[in-house]
Structure 1
Amino acid sequence: MYIINKDQLNLLEKNIYFALLQEIAQNDALSITEAAKVCNCSPSKISKFVQKLGFKSYKEYLGFINGQAFSVVSEENERLQQFLENFNPDVVSQFANYLRKFEKIILFGYGPSFIVGQYFEYKLRSLLDVPIWAVPHETSINDLIGENSLVVIFSVTGKFKSFSEIYENIIAKNSKVAFIVEEPCAEFLEKYNYTITLSSYLQNPELLPHEKTRTTFFTFVEAVIKHLER
């Protein structure tokens, strides 16, 4: 489980972030020494940078960016067992605290992912004293959003449909977007400021997005709810 929040990075760290994304795309075995040379800084600065992003080491960060940290586990029970064994409660607490910063929360997802948003809405309404809505259509977001709103978007693959237009509309209204995706999506790392990737253990790639389970979403949501209750 990984969380990328670019808003917490300073200007130098943002430069490092984008430089390494581009370089690793060309060299997926980039060493920390080579990364430091690319970014014109020391290896210790690179180590501090990846730790600020929430990674234990540069090796873990590299595996996340180049996709080598992720593996397909087609058997659902085995996949969920691996997911739970590697569950990161720090991501849960960070996201739960992030939710408290906003005056409105809108939960959005296509197809089955919308059902996750509905369940989360039902639980959050008793825990947060702000307006909360789960919506299935982009137009509903535009109708509800205001300044200092948060739109939480659930998507298993991030590839069913582009979120670029939705994202730009929300940012233009001085609000934020948090993407919660199950599978890693390189496009999200470059385009969007706040992304949570839930699992390193991916579902059968032959399944279409709507055919994939949402079990990890519900597990994560339950953990966030428990954190807020405490």
Structure 2
Amino acid sequence: MGLLLQRLLIVLNDEDYNSTPYYIAMTMLNNFYLINELTISELAKLCNVSKSTISKFIREIGFEDYTDFRVAAPFIENRYKNELNYNTNVMGYMSEKGLEGYFEAIIGDIKDYWHDIDMDKIDELAKDLVDYKIVASFGLMYSESAAIDFQTKLAYNKKFIITKLSDVKQDEFIENAGEDTLIIIFTNSGNYIKKYQITEGNLEKSVFDRTRAKVVVITSNKEMEQDPRVDLCVLFKHTSKMQTHPIMFQIISDLIVHRYRLYSKGREKL
């Protein structure tokens, strides 16, 4: 999914149905294939607003100017040639292996994790959740869904953490976080730490070089264990080429919350 498409969807989720930003975002989404061909005047006319309103909207969703915005506009399936792209990977795997192969891949990854799970790391993270007062959890796209799910599960257990849909606001939080902050990143590939995954050119990311927070990564990329920007790495593996991380993230977060409940209850008794 491209950067502009993701940011417009976030506007739909965050803004009131009758608001101007919602209307602009929905109009742009409904005419997404045309945006790259339109001048700012033409786009303003299409959205029935002024050019200054379009300029303000573009800046508010994280683009420097109209040129920057329009570069992100063309929709190209698997634009960044990512082999983990949903259509290429999951839909392609189902087309090749059928439903039986799809379910076998999921079951295989769950069984593999069950046998190889490192509970010491799960416990370290659960104890950190007890000790840290400021906790945030982030990801992009499916991984951000895992962060939201994790936030909800912890809230059921009286632990309230932060997450943000906007990639711009995620970066701002990470860069400004202090030593009193725990940041948990859901990233199947590990690339969230290293680069901007949904921008043109996959530019290198530097916010983790500057943050003072403790950084925990939940990933299938074993190389993250050696990354100096990562303080704790919770690993899982894939037994096939199909990426099952949206499902694995749910299982891992259940384990973390379960252990958090245990340690938080122990702290309450002290």
State the TM-score, normalized to the length of structure 2: 0.48
Pairwise mapping of residues 116-155 of structure 1 onto structure 2 (< 5 A)?
116-129=146-159, 131-141=160-170, 142-143=172-173, 146-147=177-178, 148-155=180-187
Residues 183, 197 of structure 1: 8 Å contact kept: no
Residues 93, 227 of structure 1: 8 Å contact kept: yes
Per-residue Cα deviation, 1:107-137 (whole angstroms, up to 9, x for no partner)? 10011000000011112124355x5112233
Per-residue Cα deviation, 1:36-68 (whole angstroms, up to 9, x for no partner)? xxxxxxxxxxxxxxxxxxxxxxxxxxxxxxxxx
Of Structure 1 and Structure 2, which has the larger fraction of its residues in strand? 1
Per-residue Cα deviation, 1:17-43 (whole angstroms, up to 9, x for no partner)? xxxxxxxxxxxxxxxxxxxxxxxxxxx
Per-residue Cα deviation, 1:171-217 (whole angstroms, up to 9, x for no partner)? 2xxx221111123225x51332413242244541xx6xxx6532221
SS at match of 1:191: coil
* Alpha-carbon separation, structure 1, partners of 2:177 and 2:152: 21
Residues 121, 234 of structure 2: 8 Å contact kept: no
Judged with a 3 Å threshold, the aligned counterparts in structure 2 of structure 1 residues 153 and 104 are, in CA distance, closer, same or farther, namely same
Q: Does 1:198 align with 2:227?
A: no
Q: Does 1:222 align with 2:263?
A: no
SS at match of 1:192: coil
Q: Does 1:96 align with 2:126?
A: yes
Residues 157, 184 of structure 1: 8 Å contact kept: no
Residues 126, 256 of structure 2: 8 Å contact kept: yes
Judged with a 3 Å threshold, the aligned counterparts in structure 2 of structure 1 residues 88 and 176 are, in CA distance, closer, same or farther, namely closer
The residue type equivalent to 1:78 in the other structure is G
Query: What is the Cα deviation at residue 161 of structure 1?
Result: 6.8
Query: What is the Cα deviation at residue 166 of structure 1?
Result: 2.3
1:181 pairs, out of 204, 210, 219, with 219
Per-residue Cα deviation, 1:88-114 (whole angstroms, up to 9, x for no partner)? 322221110022222211110011000
Quick check: which has more Rg, 1 or 2? 2
Q: Which residue of 2 aligns with 1:85?
A: 115
Aligned length: 147
Residues 193, 208 of structure 2: 8 Å contact kept: no
What percent identity do the matched residue pairs reach? Answer: 13
* Alpha-carbon separation, structure 1, partners of 2:133 and 2:146: 21
Residues 108, 137 of structure 1: 8 Å contact kept: no
Residues 136, 161 of structure 2: 8 Å contact kept: yes
The residue type equivalent to 2:221 in the other structure is E
The residue type equivalent to 1:76 in the other structure is I
Residues 107, 121 of structure 1: 8 Å contact kept: yes
User: For structure 2, which runs of at least 5 residues remain unmatched after alignment?
Assistant: 1-103, 196-204, 263-270
Q: Which residue of 1 aligns with 2:208?
A: 167
* Bigger RCO (CA 8 Å, 6+ sep): 1
Of Structure 1 and Structure 2, which has the larger fraction of its residues in helix? 2
Judged with a 3 Å threshold, the aligned counterparts in structure 2 of structure 1 residues 140 and 92 are, in CA distance, closer, same or farther, namely same
Residues 118, 134 of structure 1: 8 Å contact kept: yes
SS at match of 2:218: strand
* Alpha-carbon separation, structure 2, partners of 1:214 and 1:127: 22
